[in-house]
Structure 1
Amino acid sequence: MSEIATIGLDLAKQVFQAHGADAQGYTVFNRKLRRGEVLPFFEKLPPCIVGMEACGSAHYWAREISALGHEVRILPAQYVKPFVIRGKTDATDAIAISKAMKHADIRPVPVKTAAQQAAAMVLHTRTFFVRQRVNAVNALRGYMAEFGLVADKGIANFRKLVAALPERGDPRLPAPARLLLDEILAEIETLTARIQRMDEQIADHAKQDEDIRRLASIPGIRALTASAIKAHVPDPRSFKSARQFSAWLGLTPRQNSSGETRRQGSISRMGNAELRSLLYVGAMGVIIAARRFGTRSAWLRRLIDRRPLKVAVIALANKTARVVWALLAKGGIYQAPAELAGS
């Protein structure tokens, strides 16, 4: 058997597919592995490069296989798909992974530690509970509107919505409807308590992490956003520049250029949607405050004056992302420009 140089591993729940190739790229084997056979199989092999698509279990398998002496590369799934030849099977997917990881232009996803995965899980769970609370509040608002009971929109006006509920026994609201509304209210209170506990957990962790404290000093970034950045970007030095990091977040314009003709569209929205959303919300808060109270930043004043609100917010989020990369990759602390000093 030829010496194995690379292995493309197609991950699954129970039945995995492994494609081995030699240094010239010729197939050595392409076989199925049951879940319990994966680690013993790699334990017997000499050290080689193992590639797999980014998915929910990829970081776990990357840590386990790396511990056996292999070099593991996690590849973005959208960059592996073009290498699939004719149809989709586990065997062709494994071959596509083997081919894709030989291209130096495809940057692998950094392997996360178990602690980094746990930190990301906290943030994802918080987002899940927030989404559930929004659904419950919307349901409560909709049902109450059927009986002519309304209040201003938004979670900030939730107490006004509750105050609009009549007393129990009021003829305007039948007893079965009131019972169901009470159940929804109880669910909202439970979700709110869970979100508050998670916010406290995130805040406690932020106080102990030096990188998060440095990031939280940037305008528009607070503990939640800084914690999300630290959890989702384990190795900022994997990005060659601040612009590459911003492009990974999807905050740079989509290119549609040819020759000397350059056309730029809206932002690409590639990469991590959660981080992009948090940076956008933070930038929106900074610009709203600048409009209301003013700002000493000449750049921000010019941006607000000449651009629509949302375009200005995206531009500020893009700039903030580049500052984030600089702090994480090069160290140091955030220092406001001279024109911002004292603001």
Structure 2
Amino acid sequence: MTKKISNPEILAVRAAAEADPARGRVWVGLDVGMKSTAVCVLDGDGKVVHQCAMKTHPTEIGRYLAKNFTSNVAAVGMETGAMSVHLSGGLRRLGYQVAVMDALQVHRVLSLKRNKTDTNDARGIAEITRTGRDYLTEVYVKTAACYEVRAQLIMRHRLVQQRVANENMIRGLLRVYGGQVEAGAKSAATYRTRVVEQLLQIQDRDGINMRPRIVPVLDLCERLQADADRIEAELEALAAANPICRRFMAVPGIGAITALSFFTAIEEPSRFRRADDVAAYLGLTPRVYQSGESLVHGRISKMGNRLTRTHLVTAATVMLSATKTFSSLKDWGLRLAKKIGFNKARIAVARKLAIILFGMWRDGTHFQFKTETVEPHRQMMQAAHV
């Protein structure tokens, strides 16, 4: 239980709030750690009202604010991090306005201080919350249901990565003894059969029995694929039950995984003013450096969610190389590939896919295979909703 604080600064803020609520407002900065959080409270003039440290839990912080500052808290600021989702959600449920700011931008501001301490960081975050929120990017915190789906996507991705890494390790070990595993195995069972054949050949040829060392790794690969397949089946069911994801999956190259990945990365389309902002949000637009007469366009920024960006690039690759359905987007991508190369072209197509998916979501439209039918279809859908 937080002890009651009766220092002169807090009493002065309370007295000012009773006379004029606008004068008694305070801004709170949180430097969040895994176990403890440094708290700094500033008044309207930027003076420190109180500083302390407490357990990293929204109930503890909310109890402290409610006991000492009643309803005078204008905003609570923190930077993005592992605990920011839990803390911001809990404080918002308690009725506080919470601003979660980009950690990289906050770090650049806080680095102006000579000494980096939790107390200094909390005061800097409180000052940013009071005066600098218009200059820094405030991060949108997604819902718990959205993070649950994201967790499934991440777990499936990690399981697939681990299986592929183990299979590549086995390939490398067998090459030492002249074994070559045929590529193109789509299942762990098929891969296992090919590896066992190579192990038997090595034993017959060189008298080396590697099965006691390799077979346990093959068993692990099968378990990893079984777990990944189970999660993928759950995700496919979720995508099939979501009408927006079903419309996404009508786009050539877009499957359940990519549809859910994009849906959960955006979650709320109204927070984007333009469709082009979505491509920048996912790191699919080139960096720009301008100084004086020089203007340089670099590689894509790779900001935002890396997993969703990977899914979109994979979908673009499938559209360009594996789908047989004609579309103006695919035709444009293939023509671009002849000019600038396939790798750059698929990034450009991934950027277009992000914009198209967002437009379909925002306008309630469906994917159009020909460019000339896009605008008539959008007008028809708008008229239907009037």
TM-score by length of structure 2 reads: 0.80
Q: In the alignment, is the contact (CA less than 8 A) between 1:10 and 1:94 conserved in 2?
A: yes
Alignment RMSD, CA only?
2.5
Deviation at 1:148, TM superposition (A): 1.5
Alignment of 1:91-240 (within 5 A): 91-101=119-129, 102-153=132-183, 156=186, 158=191, 160-166=194-200, 170=204, 172=206, 174-175=208-209, 177-240=210-273
Q: 1:235-294 deviations in whole A, cap 9, x for unaligned? A: 23222212221111111111111245421111111111111111111111112247x887
Aligned counterpart in structure 2 of residue 275 of structure 1, from 308, 328, 331: 308
Identity %: 28
Larger Rg: 2
Question: Residues 92 and 152 (structure 1 numbering): CA distance in 2 closer, same or farther, change over 3 Å?
Answer: farther
Match of 2:98 in 1: 72
**CA–CA distance in structure 2, aligned partners of residues 51 and 293 of structure 1:** 49
1:249–1:273 Cα contact (<8 Å) kept: yes
Within the candidate set 17, 26, 29, 1:8 is matched to: 29
Change (3 A) 1:8 1:265: same
Distance 1:107 1:329, change over 3 A: farther
SS in 1 for 2:136: coil
Question: Which runs of no fewer than 5 residues in structure 2 stay unpaired?
Answer: 1-9, 14-23, 375-386
Point out where structure 1 has 5 or more consecutive residues left out of the alignment: none
Distance 1:302 1:182, change over 3 A: closer
Task: Give the Å deviation of 1:185.
Answer: 0.6
Residue 55 of structure 1: SS of its match in structure 2?
Answer: coil
Q: CA deviation at 1:193?
A: 0.3
Seen in structure 2, the aligned counterparts of structure 1 residues 58 and 128 have a Cα distance that, compared at 3 Å, is same
| Other-structure match for 1:317 | 350
Separation (CA, whole Å) in 2 of partners of 1:154 and 1:19: 58
Alignment match, 1:34: 55
- Relative to the length of structure 1, the TM-score reads 0.89
Give, in angstroms, the shift of residue 93 of structure 1: 1.8
Corresponding residue to 2:321 among 241, 265, 288? 288
The range that moved more, 131-140 or 102-111, is 102-111
8 Å Cα contact 1:214-1:334 kept in structure 2: yes
* Structure 2 SS opposite 1:277: helix
Mapped contact 2:29–2:125 kept (Cα < 8 A)? yes
Q: Aligned equivalents of 1:128 and 1:293: distance in 2? A: 31
Which of 89, 100, 104 matches 1:63? 89
Matched, 1:49 2:72: no
**Is the CA contact 1:62–1:72 (under 8 Å) kept in the aligned structure 2?**
yes
- Asked whether the equivalents of residues 10 and 16 of structure 1 are also in contact (C-alpha less than 8 Å), the reply is yes
Given that 1:49 and 1:72 are in contact with CA atoms closer than 8 Å, whether structure 2 keeps it comes out as yes
| Contact 2:333/2:346, CA 8 A, preserved across alignment | no
Distance (whole Å) between structure 2 residues aligned to residue 105 and residue 221 of structure 1: 36
Answer yes or no: is the 8 Å Cα contact 2:54–2:61 preserved in 1: yes
CA positional deviation for 1:30: 2.2
Task: Give yes or no for the alignment of 1:87 onto 2:115.
Answer: yes
Please say if 1:22 is aligned against 2:22. Answer: no
Q: How far apart in 1 are the matches of 2:263 and 2:337?
A: 30
SS of aligned partner of 2:199: coil
Instruction: Give 1:104 shift.
Output: 1.3
- 1:304-330: CA deviation from partner (whole Å, max 9, x where unpaired): 332211111111111111112223334
Counterpart amino acid of 2:65? F
